A and B are shown apart, each in its own frame.
Chain A
Amino acid sequence: MTVILGQLFTGVSIGAVLLLIALGLALTFGQMNVINMAHGEFIMAGAYTTYVLQQTITDAGLSLLVALPIAFAVAGAMGVLLEWALIRRLYTRPLDTLLVTWGVSLMLQQLARDVFGAPNVQTAAPDILTESTSLGADLSIANSRLFILGLVVLAVAALTAALKFTPLGRRIRAVVQNRDLAAVSGIPTGRVDRLTFFIGSGLAGVAGVALTLLGPIGPTMGTNIIIDAFLVVVVGGIGQLKGSVIVAFVLGMLQAMVEYLTTLSVAKVIVFIAIVAFLQWRPQGLFTLRTRSLA
């Protein structure tokens, strides 16, 4: 029984990680339809930001907290630069965007290798986050996982609120639903695009900070997770956050349960089969945005 409870929490925490890395993509890919292959490298940038900050701020807890907003800004700025320099010229050519951003992703990986070296680097986590909270006899929950769960709840809440209640959020939704109509209504779509890209890329940076608690920090860390992030957004459905939220946790739970009964490789295969079957049934994903736009 305790094992099943433990696995339930593992499922939730895999879901939280999936959601955190997919959240930024849900904005840039989900809302703007930009296939940004360099998204994983923004996650990497967030992780390296944590590493660099820890060189100056030696207190592990403080540097982690400081890293969250700074990584958001760093990754966001990289996103804006990418949008301004390349992507805005390619909005009508999705395939070219894919290739260009893939090239950018390779360049960023090499840049990281040149600056920080090919070996992984490590950051120290505050002691409290390397321990676990005990919930009875054999059941304990890793504090780092709790921290990530909290972070993702906070991020989703903030993002939802921003999209719903702020003028910027309204403009983003207007541009997503009908770009031309938004433009003729006087919304500066170019600026809205750039801001959306800033937020989406910034969230990738935040995910990078969180991932330093779980795994390696290296030049290729982004490529390892970008596929999972795309899966969540595609299955969740383009254009809405709630699809990604539900799908991330369902996939996390499925992965944890199947893996417990079989092995990691088999679980991955079964999750992929489930996704393919689901997309056969609902190619548009879990939720779709109904608009009167012709696009």
Chain B
Amino acid sequence: MLRFPRRRLAAGAVALAAALAVSACGSKTGENDTAGGVTADTSGDTVKVGLLNSLSGTMAISEVTVRDAIMLAVEEINAAGGVLGKKIAPVGEDGASDWPTFAEKAEKLIKVDRVAAVFGCWTSASRKAVKPVFEENKALLFYPVQYEGLEQSPYIFYTGATTNQQIVPGLDYLKAQGKKSVYLVGSDYVFPRTANKIIKAYAEANGLTVLGEDYAPLGSTEFGTIVNKVKASKAEAVFNTLNGDSNVAFFKEYKSAGLTAASMPVVSVSIAEEEVKSIGTQYLAGQLTAWNYYQTTTGAANDKFVKAYKAKFGADKPTSDPMEAAYVSVYLWKAMVEKAGSFDVEKVKGASDGVTFEAPEGLVTIDGATQHIHKTARIGKIGDDGLITEVWNSGGPVKPDPYLKGYTWATGLS
């Protein structure tokens, strides 16, 4: 009964092939004349933008909050009249925490939906996967997460921190506190390994001793040995580039081993308000983080952002640095488009230098040469209430330097 007759199978195969051919034709509709690029469709009274985030899979926990923040910005802009008189029509796609899917969906947004810009991606792996797609089609991506630097694509705007706006200030802070030695703990992939390479170069030039470095595979939850090694090293501080679930296991083990924020503080670069909630303040209180924005950052722009976010998504939902950077990216795009007076990608890029926005983190300015933004670096301390309060800041926005050209100790890198 269950065996298919061969003829029906063949018919099925033909139908499948036909369906594929049709969809292949469909994806051609967006292709256009201008020298290898695809022009955005801005003919109607709306302008489409693409939102590309993982709504499923292991990254969904973080990326959903970024999607929410982007939607909030879109709604606010639409309520205020839109961009160049056109309302923004968001087209959402799910990257599913899978890098090839990100590339596929990016291509769809650009060619089929013909969006004017795309906002999204979180992991460096997903950004690297979509980068060639945006460059080939000359389309715009706004990337909202802190990353390892050493990249500068002409079609990507980076609104999160590069290394000299997050990791280097974190190290400066430790140095200012009189710490002489650190231990490096990270997840085993591109961001922590690159970050630690930079940290080691910094340490060598600044009289800081790196007593050891250990990597755990993403998702690893057995930290007994690593914490033993950290403890035995008697380092004065730990620099933590772990990502995701591993942080939970690491901090539980850390506390059980009798290590505290007072005896050996941990500076983390991937733990924001949302992650603090899922690890537990019992284990985190007193530890340090390096970011550019906290929910507690003062200023009228942030009060408005936090209030609007909580009103829309729930009073118990914290706002965090990547969310803020994503929210800001939509406003920056709007300001660039208005300055250029056009949705044309090259014109928008040309208008980018010097565009400013009064962001929740404070005034941010686009650096047209690197397509990164000037951001204030902030070191924060995790409190018993799960919120992070600033203990140090860079005094003003730091000029982005993705290749660390302004630092003599970094010459051997990249």
Contacts and interface: CB of A to CB of B under 8 A. Distances in A.
Given A121-B278, A130-B256, A214-B249, A268 B217 contact: yes
Given A224-B221, A268-B217, 13 more contacts: A120-B61, A122-B278, A122-B279, A131-B255, A216-B245, A220-B58, A221-B221, A255-B222, A259-B225, A260-B229, A263-B214, A264-B225, A265-B215
A214 B258 contact: no
A264 B215 contact: yes
B248 interface: yes
Interface in A79-138: 118-125, 130-132, 134, 138
A10 B224 contact: yes
A10 B228 contact: yes
Contacts of A225: 221
A118 B280 CA distance: 16
A249 to B, nearest CB: 14
Interface in A141-176: 142-145
B217 A138 contact: no
Contacts of B258: 131-132, 134, 140
Nearest to B234: A138
Contacts of B229: 260
Contacts of B64: 118
B217 A265 contact: yes
A259 B229 CA distance: 10
A255 B215 CA distance: 15
Contacts of A2: 232
A7 interface: yes
Interface string B205-232: 0000000001111011110111011011
Main secondary structure of the interface of B (DSSP, over half): helix
A7 B227 CA distance: 10
Interface in B112-163: none
B160 to A, nearest CB: 20
A215 B219 contact: no
A292 B368 CA distance: 80
B188 interface: yes
13 contacts: A10-B225, A120-B279, A130-B282, A130-B283, A138-B231, A140-B257, A142-B256, A144-B256, A255-B225, A259-B226, A263-B214, A264-B217, A267-B225
Interface of B: 58, 60-61, 64, 188, 214-217, 219-222, 224-226, 228-229, 231-232, 245, 248-249, 252-253, 255-258, 274, 277-280, 282-283
Given A125-B282, A214-B221, A259-B225, A6 B232 contact: yes
A46 interface: no
A120 B244 CA distance: 10
A264 B216 contact: yes
A6 B231 CA distance: 10
B245 A218 contact: yes
A243 B338 CA distance: 71
Contacts of B277: 119, 122
Most chain A Cβ neighbours within 10 Å, of B64, B217, B225, B249: B225
B228 A7 contact: yes
Contacts of B61: 118-120
A14 interface: yes
Interface of A: 2-3, 6-7, 10, 13-14, 17, 118-125, 130-132, 134, 138, 140, 142-145, 213-216, 218, 220-221, 224-225, 255-256, 259-260, 263-265, 267-268
Contacts of A259: 225-226
Nearest to A7: B228
A213 B282 CA distance: 12
B214 A264 contact: yes
Nearest to A212: B252
B248 A215 contact: yes
Most chain A Cβ neighbours within 10 Å, of B220, B248, B256: B256
Contacts of B219: 224
Contacts of A125: 252, 282
B278 A119 contact: yes
A123 B245 CA distance: 15
Contacts of B257: 132, 140, 142
A214 B277 CA distance: 16
B137 to A, nearest CB: 32
B248 A216 contact: yes
Contact of B221 (A6, A132, A145, A215): A215
B255 A263 contact: no
Contact of B224 (A130, A256, A268): A256
Contacts of A265: 188, 215-217
A206 to B, nearest CB: 18
B98 to A, nearest CB: 15
Contact of A132 (B222, B248, B249, B256): B256
Contacts of A17: 222
Contact of B253 (A214, A255, A264): A214
